[in-house]
Chain A
Amino acid sequence: MLTQIIWWAGIALESLLLVRGVRGGLVRRFPLFYTYVFFVLAESLVMFAVYRWARNDFARAYWIGEYGTLTLGSFLLLDVYRVVLRQYPGTARVARNLLCFVFALAFAKVLVNRSYGALWWSAQTPEELERNLRIVQSFAVLAIIIVMIVYAIPRGRDLKGILAGYSLLVGSSLVHLSLASHPGLWVIRTWSYVEPVCYVIVLCIWTVALWRPAEAISRESSLPPPEMPGHAALVRQTQEALDNLRNGLLKEVRR
């Protein structure tokens, strides 16, 4: 019964999110995000039909849908990257390099596993494979978030909502998938309910955050023009200021 409620609540919220997105014009602003939501909604409805009329194929259909949403969810980060960092070329470059570093690390891990004779993508169970992909995804999310926090990138309610919701989604899924490989743990039974509830919370966060588009539009127009001196000059100035502070401090300490 609880599962049914969560399922239908999810479908209702996804529909509401899409309707609000279309009416408020946010679909144009975050096309990949809304594609993701649309895909999840379609998947939920298809899965419901499969569960009802072709239960034998449910497991296979579930994993196909799951990997589809996982892939589209990764593209969601591109929306954040495109919308937020477009106006900050310096931060965009840092984020790009950080993401490349994360993916290079993941690729290196694959190569190392291969050299030991194990294939990363042929994990023992689909849960393990999804968990591995989620770990890479979570590092990418964290990289974007860290860059945004360090560079104090202005973010409206819409972006904060998308990132908060997505972080919760990835985090709860990661915990669930990791616990699944430890069947003896008592928390598994509880967490199998917590994760769907988390998903409904995620949808609530997204619906509230993306209810109105006004804030995002006014914020964009208030940004300063990107006219700046060279980065080398800026670094020199900052290092001079830091050296002054540091030398003064160390003079006290060393005296």
Chain B
Amino acid sequence: MAAGDSMLNLLQGYLEVTTNRQQTIAANMANVDTPGYHTKDINFQAAMQAAMEKSGGSGEGPQLEPASLDVEGLPERPDGNNVNIDRESLLLSQTQLQYQVGVQLVKSEFHTLLTAIKEE
């Protein structure tokens, strides 16, 4: 069951990355009126890479997650805040759908396992 196992580990990593991103977006939305706040985001590719390496079993223990970065190129308001509500709303829905994909894949993995276990 090595193949199914690594698939589940990979999906776990994927769900963790999407959850982290969703939390970052929620933080941006929460600080929509905070003077001087800058929009943050996580590097999805780097985070996914780290999650894949972790699922490869290359080492346990506490791992530093990729730090969230300030997003470049967003116009700043006079109070020094550059949160764009439309960008965050869009990313919120997008990340929610990505998470849903991950959950459905986990479900189908377990469904496959169950089919193998059940006698016809």
Specify whether A and B are partners.
no
